[in-house]
Structure 1
């Protein structure tokens, strides 16, 4: 294969396994981190961990998890993710409340991405609530 063809060849994102590094940026492997939330084996105990698991779901194009963890009052009827969007990193900037002892929380984050070769960042303050004992995403405000 020539150098030019290997550079221009498009490949899909690598498959994730339980042993893969978790996309959310925490040091645990995916199966011990966000993977257990995605599979339904556990529920995220804090708003920040739900935020991280939702970011990982965007990376993995897991629309079912995103819809399942979205507040019913603000959840869209359908969610279609753009496979050309490649999420490249998550930075949690601030967390207000959102512990197992709170009923609501705010998480401010910056998520880096690449879309059709252009780099960018999504800066958002997200609102979370506990509903029936589980954290759900309510809405977000774009910043910057």
Structure 2
């Protein structure tokens, strides 16, 4: 089974979310369903259907978290200035001005912080960036041909 590479911080956050949803979350949804049932006719009971829908979404998230945690590989942060899973990288495309630089988090989508876009280490751009140092130029194959980017800055989350 494929592992999901996660930082210790992301793993701990996901584990806390799993524990919260599988305890408090389930109890709250069960209470909502019970209160809605007490209102009578379930066929036209919007509160009941909303609570059941919420329960379905929550159970799906619990299963997703369970799978992620069971198959997680906790990775060490990369050395300072080197792009690795969990790095926030600022890049600029060849031919663009530095003012057009873009910032990405390189890693699993569950590592997402703030409004940063996430690029997977297995995506063409992410794979090209892994191991690069600040100042390096890397190339990757895109649908429209090969693109080159320069790594301007590497930060750890």
TM-score of the superposed pair, with normalisation by structure 1: 0.28
Select the structure with the greater relative contact order (CA < 8 A; seq sep ≥ 6): 2
Larger Cα-atom Rg: 2
Q: Which has the higher strand share?
A: 1
